[in-house]
Structure 1
Amino acid sequence: MPSPPGVQPGEQYASVTGLIYVFNLIVGTGCLTLPAAFAAAGWALSAGGILLLAIVSYMTTTWVVECMACANAINHWRRMKQLKKRGQVADELVNRTLENAEAEADQRSTDTSEDQEEHEEELPLISDGVIERTVGEYYAIQECIEMGQMAKLFYPKVWDKVFYLVLCIYLYGDLAIYEAAVAKSLRDIICNYRPENCSKEPLDLDKCFTDSDLTRLDMYRLCTLIFIGVMGPFVFFNLTKTKYMQILTTITRWLAMGTMISWAIVILGEGKGDGHPTPADFTKLPQLIGVCVYSFMCHHSLPSLITPINEKKSILKLLAADYLLILLFYYLLAFTGVFAFKHLEDLYTLNFQPDPCNRDNTPGVVYGLQIFLLMFPVFTLSTNFPIIAITLRNNLKGLFLRETRRYSFFTSRCLFPLLSIIPPTLVGLITSNVEFLVGITGAYAGSVIQYVVPATLVYYARKMTLQHIGMGVKNPFSSPLQHSIFLIVICGWAVLCWIFVSIYLFGEYRS
């Protein structure tokens, strides 16, 4: 998994900075599909649903933090055990040397000097006192151990492969969402055909240009191919985010979010709001679940974001504050949108595109803001796409390749980058429904990573630390949810999400 944006290995930052990184990670593409999901499921049902899912997501986040501390403790215990073994070997060599010295008194000085050199080579370079931690620091989160590494450490054999497989499926969905969002935004900027009834929502089979038979669907697919043609080659190389790219992406995100919220508030303040959402529509609940799960996803990147924080004593409380702030932000974005607009696009930025009926009379500043909002997904997702694709490429290698075996140039350098970008591109060419892609990705693969993996991982982590370290050393990063009933409830909730979404998809397919 990639390191925190703009952070070099070994670099530390303040807890507030770390929480800003977590905030930026969570508030990504998923929030742009929230208003449409809120409108479909109803404002009251959606408000309660997202609150419940935020609480559940935070619960599993505390388990991930506990697992990170357990993994650090196990690695520390193994290093200490290895040092003790090396110390015992050194003691045996010293005793053997003394016996030889007594038997060969004539060469005592020579033998002693030679053996001392051998003993010095056997002794560790770093003494036990340097590596040994105090009891309170035994579980200190000092080493960045990614979730894949924790899966290998704690899970029984084979199950770590299952984790990698689910993670790859999630990343495939992520890339498909990125491609669809960028291509739709570019298409709506490029296409300028105005139908006779310009107030009518344009369809995929409508013309893109006045003097051309090229449809909007054709342009969408063309934009998808152009996007992958530009960004795809980066996947064949090693690429990391720079600090300046992260700063630019963050500024662009907050300008866009602030503009959309302010615009919707102005519409409501002027009494021009056309939105009249129903309080609840339980048939759309599965769709809301998938979008909300995706909107709170951060678990797979938590180790890279939390480990560099220099002060972690209150990390669980700070994460709770972060989740509360994100929840309030989602409420503000979704509620202003559902009551301001009669129809909400699956990608919220598309609600702010220029009015085809009155484009010539639109003020320049307003038109500029509309184009900026349409380009927002293009800017932000294009910077993230190579990072996600490279992460997927590396995970695919970890899933299928063996570290001890040599592979051909095509297999090691070409095959896996192609496997990373071709499947999501095919999905992006087939469907442009971003909300559908977000719902599927979040409800299935996302719920496994967000619910099932933390619950099962913390179960095995507690079991291993109890076996090797015992109960005498307390984990200061232990989750407040220690009872095993919580693990069962969360796994049951994940199964319930799968059932809801499967029933919904089956009903959509039949209709």
Structure 2
Amino acid sequence: MAGGITDTGEPYSPYVGLVYMFNLIVGTGALTMPRAFATAGWVVSLALICFLACMSYMTTTFVIEAMAAANAHIRWKRRESERVINDSDSMSDYSDDEVIIRDRVDRSETRPILSVQPGVSPDHFDIVERVEMGQMASIFFNKVGVNMFYICIIVYLYGDLAIYAAAVPISLMEVACGNHSCSAGSSIKYNDTDSCWGPVKRKDAYRVFLTIFTLLLGPFTFFNAQKTKYLQIMTSLMRWIAFTMMIILALIRIGKGHGEGKPPVAELSGVPNLFGVCVYSFMCQHSLPSLVTPISDKKRMNGLVLADYVLILGFYSLLSFTAIFCFDNSLLKDMYTLNFTDNCDVIGVAFLRYFLGLFPVFTISTNFPIIAVTLRNNWKTLFYREGGTYPWVVDRVVFPLITLVPPIIVAFCTHDLEVLVGITGAYAGTGIQYIIPACLVYLSRKRLQPVFGEDMPNKHRSPFHHTFWVIFILAWAGSCLMFVTANIILTETKH
């Protein structure tokens, strides 16, 4: 995240890139979406998720355009440096008086910074170098903007870690303390004060599992973690199996007429949290440079991204609608997989119930060290000063601790995943998904306009290239932040 220009990696086809983007977007947020749907009502939820999918697609095209602009900026800088070097070499062949005369002639000439011949399709905007969002921010933002960018990324990653740190112990607690006897029938609503193992309460079991989780995965924050190809394949395979199973099992139960769900049509009190969950569930903008750059053929990039968003929207809708009509809405849990662990009316095979219950444990545990290392590196970048170095204690101890401790404390204080996902998506997610892409694309156009003129030949230009859409995105983000904040204040006042 904090890195700059790196190698593009092994190229792959556009359709492989489409699959990678699908796997990137569909993650933990999807598991919290059914409960958010049930809380907000099915009509409101469907309308909001369709609208937010369109907004996310719009800002995704903004980021792709900004990536192309960053590549063009880097090439222009290189050509300018080469031109200065060549001019310096050529000047060395002249006398001092001749150099002064040539310099005056150059200054008196009015010529474009970078010559673009009419009718020639330039390749300056080809996305061939991976420029991460942090590097794009340093190119197009001022110092304050760069710092705000990193603060937004850091807050989002903290929210991510808190969600992950809570999700794994919750899944382990439900599997260890839940009712797995098929004689009990449908799902049961438990309280934190209910017994788990004799005198040990469920909330105590949660904290025990959270402690174990911290001791096992926390040390990775002090080292470097790399996601391997085989790890991606394993987690993606488990994700597809689990999601497919949940959809099919819910459809079978609804088809048999055993569905217990009666969701409301509209419940406005659930909209703010649904907004945060949906924003979090469509999050991919911060990872687009690593995903898009290796694609070998980018001619139909916007069309492929649109197709991906349509597929993801359909998948989210199918998962959520089967959930809210299959299960009693009052019994839907924050983590949707947990509705299958103690409900033998839906699935009678014990192994499959345990698989669904532990599915988040395996997939989330593999991502936690990677996100923690990414957050640690962003902290280092935020405080980095040119030519400076960190003392060993600060580099190896302080930065890992300020990365690990806050999300673990949050997870100890609350394990309400719906609230954690909603707040992370509504605040930091709004910044990353709406505000940063809109600012990047606007400032990149403004920066390169003197170089290429009014009609910049950016082959990856967003379909929403009018400035109106940038203003609309920023206005929408601001209004959403005010609405969510006002709702939280009102809710707390009532309590």
What TM-score does the superposition give when structure 1 sets the normalisation length? Answer: 0.87
Q: Describe the SS at the equivalent of 1:397.
A: helix
Tell me which residue corresponds to 1:466. 449
Query: Are 2:376 and 2:399, in contact at CA under 8 Å, matched by a contact in 1?
Result: yes
Q: Describe the SS at the equivalent of 2:207.
A: helix
Q: Given the alignment of the two structures, is residue 420 of structure 1 paired with residue 403 of structure 2, yes or no?
A: yes
Structure 1 stretch 87-96 or stretch 77-86: which is displaced more? Answer: 87-96
Q: How much does 1:363 deviate?
A: 11
Structure 2 residue ranges without an equivalent (≥5): 99-119
Tell me which residue corresponds to 1:246. 232
Tell me which residue corresponds to 2:158. 172
Deviations 1:378-429 (A, max 9, x none): 0111111111111100101111232411221111111111111110000000
Tell me which residue corresponds to 1:452. 435
- 5 Å-filtered alignment, 1:300-319, equals 300-319=286-305
Question: 1:362 & 1:279 partners in 2: Cα distance?
Answer: 26
Question: 2:456 & 2:243 partners in 1: Cα distance?
Answer: 45
Structure 1 stretch 234-243 or stretch 438-447: which is displaced more? Answer: 234-243
Q: How much does 1:154 deviate?
A: 0.2
**Amino acid of the residue matched to residue 204 of structure 1?**
D
Runs of 4+ with deviation above 6 angstroms? 193-199, 361-365
Query: Are 1:193 and 1:208, in contact at CA under 8 Å, matched by a contact in 2?
Result: no
Q: How much does 1:470 deviate?
A: 2.5
Tell me which residue corresponds to 1:377. 360
Task: Say which of 339, 358, 370 aligns to 1:387.
Answer: 370
Question: 2:65 & 2:359 partners in 1: Cα distance?
Answer: 36
**Amino acid of the residue matched to residue 344 of structure 1?**
L
Query: Are 1:239 and 1:387, in contact at CA under 8 Å, matched by a contact in 2?
Result: yes
Q: Given the alignment of the two structures, is residue 353 of structure 1 paired with residue 341 of structure 2, yes or no?
A: yes
Query: Are 1:273 and 1:341, in contact at CA under 8 Å, matched by a contact in 2?
Result: yes
Q: Given the alignment of the two structures, is residue 14 of structure 1 paired with residue 2 of structure 2, yes or no?
A: no
**Amino acid of the residue matched to residue 54 of structure 2?**
I
Q: How much does 1:9 deviate?
A: 4.6
Distance 1:199 1:245, change over 3 A: closer
Tell me which residue corresponds to 1:404. 387
Deviations 1:461-485 (A, max 9, x none): 0000102333465101111112222
Tell me which residue corresponds to 1:325. 311
Deviations 1:258-293 (A, max 9, x none): 010011001101110000000111111111101000
Q: Given the alignment of the two structures, is residue 236 of structure 1 paired with residue 219 of structure 2, yes or no?
A: no
Query: Are 2:177 and 2:202, in contact at CA under 8 Å, matched by a contact in 1?
Result: yes
Tell me which residue corresponds to 1:486. 469
- 5 Å-filtered alignment, 1:88-237, equals 88-95=87-94, 135-191=121-177, 200-210=188-198, 213-237=199-223
- 5 Å-filtered alignment, 1:56-95, equals 56-95=55-94
Question: 1:386 & 1:271 partners in 2: Cα distance?
Answer: 44
Deviations 1:296-349 (A, max 9, x none): 000000011000111101101100000000000001100000000002111101
Distance 1:80 1:135, change over 3 A: farther
Q: How much does 1:193 deviate?
A: 7.4
**Amino acid of the residue matched to residue 331 of structure 1?**
S
Q: How much does 1:151 deviate?
A: 0.7
Q: Describe the SS at the equivalent of 2:92.
A: helix
Question: 2:179 & 2:27 partners in 1: Cα distance?
Answer: 31
Q: Describe the SS at the equivalent of 2:245.
A: helix
Query: Are 2:8 and 2:130, in contact at CA under 8 Å, matched by a contact in 1?
Result: no
Query: Are 2:57 and 2:306, in contact at CA under 8 Å, matched by a contact in 1?
Result: yes
Question: 1:280 & 1:46 partners in 2: Cα distance?
Answer: 8
Tell me which residue corresponds to 2:244. 258
Question: 2:93 & 2:426 partners in 1: Cα distance?
Answer: 62
Question: 1:259 & 1:299 partners in 2: Cα distance?
Answer: 29
Q: How much does 1:504 deviate?
A: 2.4
Distance 1:480 1:171, change over 3 A: same
Q: How much does 1:93 deviate?
A: 2.5
Question: 1:55 & 1:193 partners in 2: Cα distance?
Answer: 41
Tell me which residue corresponds to 1:55. 54
Query: What RMSD, in angstroms, separates the aligned Cα atoms of the two structures?
Result: 2.4
Larger Rg: 1
Deviations 1:341-360 (A, max 9, x none): 002111101110124xxxxx
Question: 2:438 & 2:161 partners in 1: Cα distance?
Answer: 26
Q: Describe the SS at the equivalent of 2:349.
A: helix
Tell me which residue corresponds to 2:323. 337
Query: Are 1:33 and 1:347, in contact at CA under 8 Å, matched by a contact in 2?
Result: yes
Query: Are 1:2 and 1:304, in contact at CA under 8 Å, matched by a contact in 2?
Result: no
Count the aligned residue pairs: 467
Tell me which residue corresponds to 2:23. 24
Tell me which residue corresponds to 2:265. 279
Distance 1:273 1:12, change over 3 A: same
Query: Are 2:2 and 2:134, in contact at CA under 8 Å, matched by a contact in 1?
Result: no
Distance 1:364 1:492, change over 3 A: closer
Q: Describe the SS at the equivalent of 1:208.
A: strand
Q: Describe the SS at the equivalent of 2:259.
A: coil
Query: Are 2:261 and 2:324, in contact at CA under 8 Å, matched by a contact in 1?
Result: yes
Q: How much does 1:16 deviate?
A: 0.8
Q: How much does 1:10 deviate?
A: 3.0
Q: Describe the SS at the equivalent of 1:350.
A: helix
Tell me which residue corresponds to 1:103. none
What TM-score does the superposition give when structure 2 sets the normalisation length? Answer: 0.90
Question: 2:327 & 2:31 partners in 1: Cα distance?
Answer: 14
Query: Are 1:77 and 1:469, in contact at CA under 8 Å, matched by a contact in 2?
Result: no
Tell me which residue corresponds to 1:45. 44
Q: How much does 1:149 deviate?
A: 0.7
Query: Are 1:207 and 1:215, in contact at CA under 8 Å, matched by a contact in 2?
Result: yes
Question: 1:242 & 1:485 partners in 2: Cα distance?
Answer: 42
Q: Describe the SS at the equivalent of 2:460.
A: coil
